[in-house]
Homo-oligomer: A and B are copies of this chain.
Amino acid sequence: MSMPTIQIGLLGLGNVGTGVLNILTHHADMLSQRTGKKLKVKSILVRDLAKYHHYKMPGVKLTSKPEDILEDPDIQIVVEAMGGENPAYGFIKQALTSGKFVVTANKEVVSKHKKEFFELAKQHKVDIYFEASVGGGIPLIRSLKVGYAANQIQSLYGILNGTTNYILTQIGDQGMEFDAAIKAAQKLGFAEADPTMDVSGLDTAYKLSILAAVAFKVDVQVSDFHYEGIESVTLKDIQLAKELGYAIKLLAIGYRMGSAGMVFRVHPTMIPLDQPLAAVRNEVNAVFFVGDSVGESMLSGKGAGGSPTGSAIVSDIVDIAFDTRVRVSQDGNGHRHVVLDGVESPHYENKRNLEDALSKVNLVNIEDTYSQFYLRVLVTDTTGALAKLASVLGDQEVSISKMIQRDMVGNCAEVVIVTHKIKESYMQQALSNVKALSCVKKVESVIRVGLEEV
């Protein structure tokens, strides 16, 4: 029996591209058996051809010209493994417009341009897959599109950035300060030379906006919601959190706030130690969902690296192979090309896309959401300070769940407060009043506490 072949063009041969190539090569037989089709990398776009002149990849064409892939009628699937907004954005648009299926690991470009991509894919009867863009090898996107399709997702809480989770874990385990932990992470390859995108929360925010589209069918950009990073989380706060029964994680949060609308936000969060997310350590990613039928569910695994990300990309290729039929078509010049059913025929419906339902909804501003807060405050005059603090907080209806007076730091005393749940705007006003108190030297830390909706 002759097995049809699907030909793949790979944009980029870095860590992720190499992972994809390795899996497709190493598992060629297994994948053919599973899909009934041969999955073959035909061409790879690299920046600097000279770098690869001694590479031996029989039957694979290396090229530095994007058009060799984007304009090749025999390539049915384009895998974008370059990262960054440009030139990936243009390449993906061109591929979709040419009737090619696209698989991408690129959270930035999907986050920013998802709506346009979904519409282009629909228009050209193809599809764009992006399992690898969030949570590495964990089948998050696929589970949300199909596995949890019977549910209205009520809330989700994700640890979506391996670098920051590694850093936070190491700070706690090793008693390191933030800078030392970053250096250790860089040494092990868990952090980039410039870790800003990870540490600032932006990477997590991109991923949350993608999950928002899949889980809640909402079109949201990172500029539409509050995100912050882990720069201000200290060893001391992590140790205090542990004493209080919490772990500090950088969380992507999305939930429905009744009729008010949807809440999305990214920030360090103190999570109760008996919550499954608190046990997600080092570079592992995880998402904890609450669905109205399935209840609580959690998916976890490695969130980055060539091999897990490659696993997700190849799962998308397998899904395309499952979803399409390979057919021979003749073009205007009489040339015969193998095409995926859908490329030139009306048979394929890009059924798992979201463009119809993807809509703007009312987003609740973080000022109007409710959290518990952990505060660490340096005060000069202990005796009077506690009463004044409580009074200033109380003026803004912030009630105190726990107040602990800690060590003296120089001639100041350290006070740790955990509040009851309070509206963010009230808390911010209370904080600015606290800072104005003469007995308050500094508000050292403010960290939100708890998964409000669970």
Contacts and interface: CB of A to CB of B under 8 A. Distances in A.
Interface stretch (A43-51, A56-64, A74-82, A315-323): A315-323
A31 interface: yes
Interface of A: 19, 23, 27, 30-31, 33-36, 131, 136-139, 142-143, 146-152, 276, 279, 284, 291, 293-302, 305, 307-308, 310-315, 318-319, 322-323, 325, 347, 349, 351-352, 356-357
Contacts of A325: 347, 349
15 contacts: A27-B152, A33-B357, A36-B351, A137-B294, A139-B142, A139-B146, A142-B143, A142-B147, A150-B313, A151-B311, A294-B307, A297-B301, A298-B299, A298-B301, A325-B347
A315 B137 contact: no
Contact of A293 (B23, B35, B276, B356): B23
A338 to B, nearest CB: 17
B150 A315 contact: yes
Contact of A146 (B136, B279, B298, B319): B319
Nearest to A33: B357
A142 B150 contact: no
A150 B33 contact: no
Contacts of A147: 131, 139, 142-143, 315
| Majority SS at the chain A contact face | mixed
A312 B294 CA distance: 8
Nearest to A308: B294
Contacts of A19: 293
Given A148-B139, A151-B311, A318-B149, A295 B301 contact: yes
A128 to B, nearest CB: 16
A315 B145 CA distance: 9
Given A33-B356, A36-B351, A279-B279, A146 B322 contact: yes
A189 to B, nearest CB: 15
B146 A142 contact: yes
Contact of A298 (B300, B308, B319): B300
A357 B36 CA distance: 11
Contacts of A284: 296
B302 A294 contact: yes
A296 B302 contact: yes
A349 to B, nearest CB: 7
Given A142-B142, A300-B297, A311-B291, A27 B356 contact: no
Given A139-B139, A276-B300, A293-B310, A352 B322 contact: yes
A308 B295 contact: yes
A314 B293 contact: yes
A370 B292 CA distance: 43
Q: Which 3 A-B pairs have the closest CB atoms?
A: A139-B147, A297-B301, A150-B314
A300 B147 CA distance: 13
A279 B274 CA distance: 8
Contacts of A305: 295
A313 to B, nearest CB: 8
Nearest to A141: B147
A295 B315 contact: no
A222 to B, nearest CB: 26
Given A30-B152, A137-B294, 11 more contacts: A36-B349, A136-B294, A137-B297, A139-B146, A143-B143, A146-B322, A293-B308, A294-B311, A298-B298, A298-B299, A325-B347
A326 to B, nearest CB: 11
A217 B372 CA distance: 49
A36 B19 CA distance: 36
Nearest to A305: B295
Most interface-central of A34, A152, A356 (chain B CB within 10 A) = A34
A311 B294 CA distance: 6
Nearest to A295: B302
Given A294-B307, A302-B295, A146 B315 contact: yes
